[in-house]
Structure 1
Amino acid sequence: MTSTTIPSTMRASVLLEAGRIEMQERPVPTAGPGEVLVRVGSVGVCGSDVHYYKHGRIGDMVVTAPLVLGHEVSGTIVAVGPGVEEDRVGERVALDPQVPCRRCRQCKAGRSNLCPFMEFYATPPFDGTFCDYVTAPADQAFAVPDSMSDESAALLEPLSVGLWAAHKGNVGPGDQVLIAGAGPIGAMVAQAVRACGATDIVVTDFVDSRRERITSFGATRALHPVQDKDEIAALRVDTFVDCSGATPAVLSGIASTRGGGAVVLVGLGAEEMPIPVQLIATREITLTGVFRYIDTWPRGIELETSGAVHLDDMVTARYPLEQVEEALNADSDPLSMKAVVVVNPAA
């Protein structure tokens, strides 16, 4: 392994059980063959982190042992393992948190995000990145330009969700898109579909402050789901993207989708819900979901550096590593958009 001077131990913020975080001292991991060791810079707080913290589980993914949360991550390569070019040491990177097996049928079919053997930061039993150092496959560490902040580099991960949703919804120039939910992912989707050429981007949300803010992130209109229900019902959009997980929003969005359009489910709500099968069939609507992403980092870096998306503007609160618990509770503020944990501030 080639490296700079690295300590033997590091700080790690560890979820011991639902609602209980503890700072621990842990050994610094070692980069194996084909891997890099990254000194963590910034880590975005995701809704999944919050859910694990508050409930100890997401569906059948259950926290049964101490777990380091955090998967939206940027940093600097400080060491490389065998088989990795030594000149990568010192490179600023954004990390794709997925480690697929690369051998199963899904991986070989180009659906690596659906790999049944996936290792993913902060998904039990795999530790995440609320710590000083992490390892990653070298080809999952994407170099970012000096013009991009650590925070923007970390937020390429949630932007990737938006880009994958736009891809699954086949969004193109001149399209009209309806998005349910004006939170962080809704804002990422709005920016992503705008970058794809959508010209009318309608976002719905109950919270006044979110509706007011979403027009800064690509939305052309922001509507109240109940007060503006007639206007929403009259829409016939090319693509509907649900980022709320709310059954009424999903049903309303499907009804507002044109014949031949697409419905993309991003938000996770009820495990089951009734859907209008006859309407979907007679309008030939494509109904699909989003689970992570494939090869979106190069596109995200291009969009951010060109000014097509604005990730730094998403950040509404910053916390040091010792205040991860406060960061995980930041979403209780309706004015919060994106909280970031600054693990190691940029020099």
Structure 2
Amino acid sequence: MTNEPIAATLFGPEDLRVIEHPLGALAPGMVRVRFGAGGICGSDLHYFRHARTGDFVVNAPLILGHEVAGEVVEINGAAPGLSVGDRVAVNPSRWCGHCARCEEGRANLCENIYFMGSASKTPHMQGGFASIFDAMPAQCVRVGGDVSFQAAALAEPLAVSLHAVARAGEIGGKNAIIFGAGPIGLLVMLAARLKGCGQMTVADIAQAPLAFADRLGADRAIDLSPGEAELTGLAAESPFDIAFEVSGTAAGLAAAIASVRRGGTVVQIGNLPGGKIPVPANAVMSKEIDLKGTFRFGTEFNEAVELISAGEIDVLKLVTAERSLAAANDAFQLAADRSRSVKVMLTAD
């Protein structure tokens, strides 16, 4: 490896290579960012294992990474509020701003969106797990010098969680359950707490993440690995007002629908397997459940940066390991082992 810029690039299932990635001249209207830190997300792991996540399939080499932060090193053209040397959290979304969804204020559903490190479009939009990468000025949100790159990078998953909580509607004092104790599930718990949610239960099939949820303040942690008897009994005694399905499994969605009260709300956050899956739709009908999807985030990204900067949510509590960008393959192997990690961060060195 030379001193050329490098990037963690996926070529196929479990074929992640850290390769040289030289950049040409910076295009007009763009900002060049030096990588500071990045978090490995569940969707990154799906790409790593299967070269796909849900219905998004990798068909060309893809630089992964959408939870990133860094330092502005070059600006070509107007970039109001930005200067070389600024530390920034990078919003991975590039919205068009003029389609029907953008104009109605739902830019996360933009019909022409490109998202860093995603195979949702062809050609794919390359991600931020690269020592140098380019972004639009609007993607770069300044952070103070007292905010670490690691914390700034986690604005993205916090924004996802804030958007999911917003999709649930009024949650003040309500009884909620979260299926899936991974990073997003834990951040949903913290975000819901901040917004006034009442009792919080977290359910998972793995003991290590559940223990982590307990340390972060879950009122109850349910281990589903022996079966759903405990959950069924609890839901019968006191059905949940809201269920957040974060596991991305058909079983998790079915359990969420079964666990909420009549007239309750289920928010689907996890990326379910591509194609058709079984859903207990009759229960959705007969219990008159509000089943809501939630996709990425909109203005919540800036809110997430503000909350992290103000110390209102300590996202670094989720970080269990750090590895250098050059050791991305090792980092992905570690992140894939839920018994040893919750959130693995890549750093510049």
1:332 aligns with 2:327: no
Offset of residue 243 of structure 1: 0.6
Identical residues among aligned pairs (%): 33
Q: Secondary structure at the match of 1:293?
A: coil
Counterpart in 2 of 1:111? Answer: 106
Counterpart in 1 of 2:270? Answer: 267
Between stretches 267-276 and 193-202, larger displacement belongs to 267-276
Do the aligned partners of 2:53 and 2:271 also contact (CA within 8 Å) in 1?
no
Counterpart in 2 of 1:146? Answer: 145
1:292 aligns with 2:296: yes
Q: Which of residues 301, 305, 309 is equivalent to 1:305? A: 309
**Partner Cα separation in structure 1 for residue 107 and residue 26 of structure 2:** 23
Offset of residue 248 of structure 1: 2.7
**Partner Cα separation in structure 1 for residue 262 and residue 338 of structure 2:** 39
Aligned in 2, Cα 1:136/1:251: closer, same or farther, shift over 3 Å? Answer: same
Counterpart in 2 of 1:189? Answer: 188
**Partner Cα separation in structure 2 for residue 301 and residue 59 of structure 1:** 28
Offset of residue 302 of structure 1: 2.6
Do the aligned partners of 2:54 and 2:271 also contact (CA within 8 Å) in 1?
no
Offset of residue 129 of structure 1: 1.1
Q: Which of residues 238, 241, 244 is equivalent to 1:238? A: 241
Do the aligned partners of 2:18 and 2:328 also contact (CA within 8 Å) in 1?
no
**Partner Cα separation in structure 2 for residue 248 and residue 16 of structure 1:** 31
Between stretches 185-194 and 254-263, larger displacement belongs to 254-263
Residues 220-231 of structure 1: matches in 2 within 5 Å?
220-225=219-224, 226-229=228-231, 230-231=233-234
Aligned in 2, Cα 1:139/1:86: closer, same or farther, shift over 3 Å? Answer: closer
Do the aligned partners of 1:183 and 1:337 also contact (CA within 8 Å) in 2?
yes
**Partner Cα separation in structure 2 for residue 256 and residue 80 of structure 1:** 51
**Partner Cα separation in structure 2 for residue 59 and residue 142 of structure 1:** 29
What does the per-residue CA deviation read over 1:169-194, in whole Å, with 9 as the maximum and x for residues that have no partner?
11432121110011111111111111
User: CA RMSD for the aligned pairs?
Assistant: 2.1
**Partner Cα separation in structure 1 for residue 55 and residue 278 of structure 2:** 22
Listed as ranges, the gaps of 5+ residues in structure 1 are 1-7
The one-letter amino acid paired with 1:139 is A
Listed as ranges, the gaps of 5+ residues in structure 2 are none
Do the aligned partners of 1:234 and 1:256 also contact (CA within 8 Å) in 2?
no
1:251 aligns with 2:254: yes
Q: Which runs of 4+ in 1 moved over 6 A?
A: none
How many residues in Structure 1 have an aligned counterpart in Structure 2?
338
TM-score, normalisation: structure 1? 0.90
Do the aligned partners of 2:321 and 2:345 also contact (CA within 8 Å) in 1?
yes
**Partner Cα separation in structure 2 for residue 88 and residue 281 of structure 1:** 54
